[in-house]
Structures are given as structure tokens and as C-alpha cells.
Chains A and B, each alone.
Chain A
Amino acid sequence: MSAPTTTEQDERRLYWEFVDCWTIVRRELGHLAKQPSLIAWQLGFPIVSVLLYVYVFGSAMDVGGGQDYTTFVMPGMFAMTMAFGFMNTAMAVTVEKDRGVIDRFRSMPMARSAVVAGRGVADVLHAGIDLAVMALIALAIGWRSDGSLVETVYAFLLLLLLRFALIWIGVYLGLLVPNQEAAGNLFAVAFPFGMISSVFTPPSMMPDWLGAIAMWNPVSSTATAIRELFGVSTTAGDSWIEQHAPLMSVVWPLAITAVFLPLAVRRYQALGR
């Protein structure tokens, strides 16, 4: 049997970290190529929400300022899609852990960072596809960005930044929960996180205590910031957090990453203890 061998030197470590990461990313893209329905499946809830809120509740919704509800709610839908994304990450990580795939990777001479980094890159790419699909649906039902091209692109980048930050919460929770059933229960966290926010209605229209929670929700900062970039005329509330949404839509994701990236890495390393 002609078994190939690999070099023993670690001199090309950085090179292999990139190559291994890319191999993992290609694997994830391979999944999408094999099962395009994955995208439809994961967008199911946002799409149903769009139909529900635009067509069913839409006519009864008045968010003030004579604002058309579709224009108001679509950016919220984009943000909510990103917010729910951490569930996909957590579920994928739990499945890999459960099925021994992570163990197999860890017993191989590949770069250990690639398992987590590859997941991160693949999920951002996946989120980009999700957003593109959502945007097409939005365009089809009459949503338009009134911002300039730069503002519009920046808005989508802010959305991806939120998704990027949530990857680390997803990886952390995915490694933390004992099994796939428990990972499924994370929806109990994801739901209020996505919905108690400015996604559907301005927090100023909620009871004070709930509004306070909603306006400090990172999803709200992103939703409010991108509304401004898309040129939605409804003014944000008067609170500090709402007034500083453009700033906070960057600060929140960075803060989440600063906390959860090290936690996720530590949790990953703890698999060896």
C-alpha cells in the first residue's frame, strides 16, 4: 500500500492554518451546493415573518411619522435574520461535537484553529447568502433603500458584523450544551433576543420596562442604525442608546466578540481537559 506521508516540520504552520481553514469553509459551501434547501429552511422563519408582518398585520401597524410599515420593518427583518443566525452556528457545532467530527479533527495533524475559524468564515459567507435572498424578497415586495450606494453597502456590512459577533456566542453555546435536543431549546433564548427589539416596533411604543430592554438589545442598535442608512424617515427615540445607534451598531458586535471569542476558544480547548 502506498501511504503518503507529510512533512514533520511545523515551519509552514501559518500556511496550514489558512489552508485548513479554507478546507473547512469549502466543506460548508459543499453542504450548500448539495442541499440548497438548507438556505430555504433557515430562512423559513424570517420569510414567514415578512409575509405575516407586511401583509397580515401591516395594514394595522402604525409606527408613527406616516411611515410605510414595509419600509420600517424590512431592515428589522434583516437584523432579526442575523440575530437568529447564532442558532445555526450553535446547532452545527453541537451536531459536530455529538457525532465525533470535532474529535476526529482534533486527533488529526491539522491546525486546531481551523475548526473554529473555518466555522466562522463559512457562517459569515452563509449569512451573506441569507441576506442576499432576504434582500431580493424585500425588493420583490416593494422595499427600496433610499440611502446612497455606500450607505446601503455599509448597512449590509453592519448586519454581517452583528452576525460575525454572534458566531462566537453560537460556538460557545454549541460547545456548552450537552446534546442536540438542548441545542434546539436555545430557541427559547433566540426568540426574545430577536423579537424584544426594535425589529417590529419602536421601543418607545412599548411599556417602559420592556422598551428599555428592547432598546439596549444589540439587535435594536443594528436595526436602528441600518434604518437611518436606508433613509427610513422615522426618527429613533430620544434615549441615549437610540440616538447613538450608528456607534452602538459597531460597539455592540465588538464587545460581544471581545467577550465570547475568548470564551469560545477556551471552551474548545477545554475539550482536551
Chain B
Amino acid sequence: MTAATEAAAEAGEYSVIAEGLRKQYGDKTAVDGLDLRVRRGTVCGLLGPNGAGKTTSVRMLSTLVRPDGGRAEVGGHDVVRRPDLVRRRIGLTGQHAAVDEILTARQNLRMFGRLFHLGHPAARARAEELLAQFSLLEAADKQVKTFSGGMRRRLDLAASMILAPEVLFLDEPTTGLDPRGRREVWDAVRGLTATGTTVLLTTHYLDEADKLSDWICVIDQGRKITEDTPAGLKRAVGGDRVEVVLADPADLPLTAGAVARVAAGGRPPETDEAELRVHAPVTEGVAALTEVARELQDAGVAVLDIGLRRPTLDEVFLRLTGGAERETTEKENAV
């Protein structure tokens, strides 16, 4: 395949393509050579801690800021050379609900429709469709400042969907929302993906990326650390872990043996001799925990603490970013 036809095929398959995308703010490199591909019609979660470069990446892809290096295509058009064409194919929902507080929901959608260059009748009709789609018909004539956080975000999403964009960017769509608001937004996003919109979502909530995404790309310090399906990522990071804290160091070998028998994939458990802690990833969490507890009790081992732990996002990043050093220390411990 020639380079040209390869590029054309790629452009059809992927709605977002970024290669070596870079952005520098003074001394700080916000995005440092990001490669990203989002398959048409899928949801890609861009997961990372605050300051990882998620927002800057989205701002470059949505034509808000110019990249310092690399290239990006969104909806088949280069973001630097044809931002005008890109803007007709994207919707953007930023970290704040960027809607007019004083106007009503209906007035907002009509105004945005006009700014998307729909004629008056089309803008009016589209506003009604979106109000219905995002369950805002009842509140349509209320001022937005009276809305709950979840309603505002839904209106914000609706405003991004006026042209049914090929690509929708959601930059931390649920930050600052209560659990109910988050659920409302999640439902709305799922509804969109059912219609074939490609979604690039940034979040620092692991569960949010997990619930919504087909593919997760983990970034830190402006670089991609890893990417995988949510299931694959969780496998890599390890799901639930059984953790035992002992009173007596003499019980460590016995405990390690008990934990090893329930560990996922039969991998040897990790042992922290200083803290007298033994832990290992498990697949059937509750069953494994019960078994280890019973075995230790039968052997008369004094246990200070035993429990089932889920990896927090901090641990995910620690494991993914500090993976290399960790391997080494583990080997040293083993020797």
C-alpha cells in the first residue's frame, strides 16, 4: 500500500489522529509528543492526573490552541491548516458549562443554532429536538441559572450536538457534579455514542473512563503511558487485591503461601517485610479473601488486618509510571 492510500484508509477508519503532538508553555512542556488514534464511532477516554496534559491535548484537537509540533487530523482535516473545516465537524464541552446563564435553555440552543449558521426555522427545530433528546423540555423556558449542575451539563452537551458532530470532545464532563448529576451526564453520553458520534473524553476518574470508554489512553506529564481496553487496563494494573498485615514476621512465609494459592495467574504475592504486609491480585475477590482468612485462622496466625482492596487511581499511575523501578525493587527483595 502506498503512503497516500494508507493515509486515506486511516482517515476513514479514525476520526481523530494525532502524531507527535506537542505544546510548550514557557518552560513547561504541557504535551510532549502525544500519539493518539480514535476509531470512528468509539469512545476514547483520555485518563490522567491533573496537569497531565489532557486539557491541552483537547484544546489543540478542537482548534482552540495551535500545536507547537506534530500534527493532528480531526474528522479528516488538519487542525492547523483547515481549522474552519474541523470546527464544522466537532462539538466541545469544556470543564465549565459554557452556556448563557441569563437566557433560557431554549434561547441558548436557538442562539447556538444560529451561530452554527442554521437558518431561523432550522435553529428552532433543532433546539426542540435537542431539548427532547436531553430531557430538558420541561425546563426549556427556565433561566439556566436556576438549573442543577447535571441539567447545565446536559444543556452544554446539547449545544455541542447542534450539528451532530462527527467528533465530540468532552473535557472532564462530570467534574464538580454530584453523583446524580454524573449519572445524568453518563446516560446522555451513552445516548450519543449510540448515534455513532466519536467521543474523546478526558477524566481523572477511573470509574468514569471505565464506564464510558471503549478504549482508554493513560497520559502523564504530557506523554502517553499506555493504552488499552478498560478490561485490558484493569488486567494490567491488577483488579482486586487481597492484603494481609501480620503481627509476627515469622508468619510471613506461611502467609505468602496461603495468598499465593488464591492469587490471579498463580503469581507469587508481593511481600513487604518492613510493614509485614503480603498482598496479591485476585480474580474472585470475596472467595479468595474467605479462603485466606480461614487458612490463616486454622494455622493460628496473628493477623492485624486483612481485606480486599481495589486499586485507586493513584496506584494505577504509580504502577504505570513507576513500573520499571518497582520491578527492580521487587527482584532485589526476592534475592
Contacts and interface: CB of A to CB of B under 8 A. Distances in A.
B63 A105 contact: no
A6 B185 CA distance: 28
A22 to B, nearest CB: 9
B319 interface: no
A110 B164 contact: no
A272 B87 contact: no
A233 to B, nearest CB: 45
B323 to A, nearest CB: 35
Interface stretch (A69-77, A95-103, A157-165): A95-103
B69 to A, nearest CB: 14
Given A4-B126, A106-B64, A34 B116 contact: no
A100 B115 contact: no
A51 interface: no
A99 B114 CA distance: 20
B116 A3 contact: no
Which one of A6, A20, A103 has the highest number of Cβ atoms from chain B below 10 Å of its Cβ?
A103
A203 B88 CA distance: 56
Contact of A104 (B98, B133, B164): B98
A98 B88 contact: no
Contact of B159 (A23, A31, A104, A272): A104
A239 interface: no
Which one of A16, A107, A271, A273 has the highest number of Cβ atoms from chain B below 10 Å of its Cβ?
A107
Interface in B84-100: 84-85, 87-88, 90, 92, 94-100
Contacts of A35: 102
Given A6-B163, A108-B87, A103 B102 contact: no
A110 B102 contact: no
B143 A100 contact: no
Contacts of B107: 30
A60 interface: no
Nearest to A95: B101
B88 A109 contact: yes
A23 B114 contact: yes
A110 B117 CA distance: 7
A16 B117 contact: yes
B111 interface: yes
Contact of A101 (B85, B98, B133): B98
Nearest to B110: A23
Contacts of B159: 104
B65 interface: yes
Interface string A1-32: 11111111010000010011001001100110
B90 to A, nearest CB: 7
Given A6-B88, A31-B103, A110 B98 contact: no
Nearest to B143: A34
B204 interface: no
Nearest to A2: B129
Nearest to A101: B98
Interface string B109-121: 0011011111000
A109 B84 contact: yes
A8 B102 contact: no
B84 to A, nearest CB: 6
Contact of B163 (A5, A26, A100, A105): A5
Given A108-B116, A273-B66, A3 B100 contact: no
Contacts of B96: 98-100
A99 B98 contact: yes
A100 B84 CA distance: 19
Interface in A213-259: none
Given A4-B126, A101-B98, A272-B66, A107 B163 contact: no
A174 B87 CA distance: 25
B122 interface: yes
A181 B87 CA distance: 32
Contacts of B103: 27, 30-31, 34
Contacts of B114: 19-20, 23
Contacts of B112: 108
B111 to A, nearest CB: 6
A97 to B, nearest CB: 10
Contact of B115 (A4, A10, A108): A108
24 contacts: A1-B133, A2-B129, A6-B88, A6-B116, A8-B85, A8-B88, A16-B117, A20-B115, A23-B111, A27-B100, A30-B102, A30-B103, A99-B96, A99-B98, A101-B98, A101-B99, A103-B98, A106-B63, A108-B115, A109-B117, A272-B64, A272-B65, A273-B65, A273-B66
Given A19-B114, A30-B103, A108-B87, 8 more contacts: A1-B133, A1-B195, A6-B88, A23-B114, A27-B103, A35-B102, A104-B159, A272-B64
Per CB-CB distance, the 4 closest pairs between chain A and chain B, nearest first, are A3-B164, A100-B98, A100-B94, A104-B98
Interface of A: 1-8, 10, 16, 19-20, 23, 26-27, 30-31, 34-35, 98-101, 103-110, 114, 271-273
Interface of B: 59, 62-66, 84-85, 87-88, 90, 92, 94-103, 107, 111-112, 114-118, 122, 126, 129, 133, 143, 159, 162-164, 195
